[in-house]
Amino acid sequence: MSKAAITGIHGYVPDYVLTNAELERMVDTNDEWITTRTGIKERHILKGEGMGSSHMGAKAVAGLLEKTNTKPEEIDLVICATTTPDYVFPCTANLISDMVGIRNVGGFDVQAACSGFLYALTIGTQFIETGKYRKVIIVGADKMSAITDYTDRTTCVLFGDGAGAVLLEPNEDGYGVLDSIIRSDGSGQQHLLQKAGGSRYPPTHETVEKRWHYVYQDGPSVFKFAVKNMADVSAEIMERNHLAGDDVAWLVPHQANKRIIDATANRMGINTDKVMMNIHKYGNTTAATIPLCLFDYESQLKKGDNLVLAAFGGGFTWGAAYVKWAY
């Protein structure tokens, strides 16, 4: 059976940079506190009226098509992982496709919070492995600034905006997505959520006044759950594929918090110099963190490298994937 190989990667972040120094002027915080607890120094913010996650996703996809010499008409399917869709409907994948000239193909969004890219990658892989499609684009795009409360010092320091996209194609030589695990636990919903804006609590004056349209996070509970489950699922995917720490070229973790990343690497027996890290530049871009890591580190990747992708997000959701790099 063919494997679904990543044959190209591209990323995009907006020009505007929100530094820790600027946040110090907005809320009661400081650079030392932010850096020590999160590892974040700056994050990119999408500015401009009417600009949404699709605009960043389209930049990433357009760059991906150009880089891989792929014509829009060659694409069979577009899947977008996002927690901040432009609209309730139509889906962001359709908007991205329209912007880059991809027509008459399937397109849909996946919402699994920070684990969204891993979920979308797992789904897209199935279409390649079954032979249904030959070229599938997976996008992770989030404009987290749209749902971040910049009066809440515990959350506003964490999030940034960005997008990343990969092209999946069949591979007969053993490269590609070799295994994946996705998990969820809905009982964790109260610890990390955007309470209003959906069908349970539609927008009203009251929901706006209560600031229910912003990210709410119970930091200690999320941290505890994330450390355990992201580490556990990473160790599990290594064990069932008979991988030791020395066999893994790179850990590609969701960039939520440096302490969570360090704990995951330690559990896997992986040295810090084999951990992709760009949280200091971008903060937590939710579904975009993993593809942005791959984009930033692309020049250091070698054909045949064993990668473990790992994520944890609201829902709760979490997962891991074992990828053998194809180029």
Give the span between the Cα atoms of 294 and 297, in whole angstroms.
5
Q: HSE on the CB side for 135, CA within 13 Å?
A: 16
The full DSSP string for 133-191 is: -S-EEEEEEEEGGGG--TT-TTTTTTB-EEEEEEEEEEESSS-EEEEEEEEE-GGGGGG
The phi and psi torsions of 233 (rounded to 5 degrees) equal -70, -30
284 is catalytic: yes
Which two three-digit tokens encode residue 223?
């941290």
Radius of gyration (C-alpha) of the chain in whole angstroms: 19
Q: Is 44 a catalytic residue?
A: no
CA distance 144 to 156: 10
Which residue out of 20, 171, 284, 293 is catalytically annotated? 284
Q: Where are the beta strands (DSSP E) in 172-294?
A: 176-184, 192-194, 215-217, 250-253
- Inter-axis angle of helices 92-100 and 53-67, to 10 degrees? 50
Q: What are phi and psi of 25, to 5 degrees?
A: -85, -10
232: left (phi over 0), alpha (psi -120 to 50) or beta: alpha
The single residue of 80, 91, 114, 293 carrying the catalytic annotation is 114
Exactly one of 254, 257, 278, 293 is catalytic; name it.
254
Residue where the block lists tokens 């492995």:
129
The answer to whether the CB of 9 falls within 8 A of the CB of 165 is yes
Measured CA to CA, the distance from residue 101 to residue 89 in angstroms comes to: 19
Distance CA 177, CA 54 (A): 26
Q: Is 242 a catalytic residue?
A: no
Positions annotated as catalytic residues are 114, 254, 284
